[in-house]
Amino acid sequence: MTVCYNKLWKLLIDRKMKKKDLLEQSGISRGTLTKLNKDENVSTETLVRICAALNCDIADIVEIINTEN
């Protein structure tokens, strides 16, 4: 299983926000943003901070994809 943050990027587009805006509003670091861009794991605390900044639920920004076939 792997994580995918495509929902987060779509949400930013829908709200006409840039990744820079997300950094400023959520207080996450550039390194964390890089991890998100690469669909790498980030802490739950980070996801909560993003959700608080965007006023959304965690399911609105991340999905788990089953890679086992």
61 pLDDT higher than 80? yes
The alpha-helical segments, DSSP class H, found in the chain are 6-14, 19-26, 30-37, 44-54
The SS3 call for residue 1 is coil
Please report the pLDDT score of residue 69 as a whole number: 63
pTM score over 0.95: no
Distance of CA 47 to the CA centre of its chain: 6
End-to-end CA distance of the chain: 10
Is 2-65 assigned to CATH 1.10.287.110?
no
Please report the pLDDT score of residue 60 as a whole number: 96
Structure tokens at 54: 């965007």
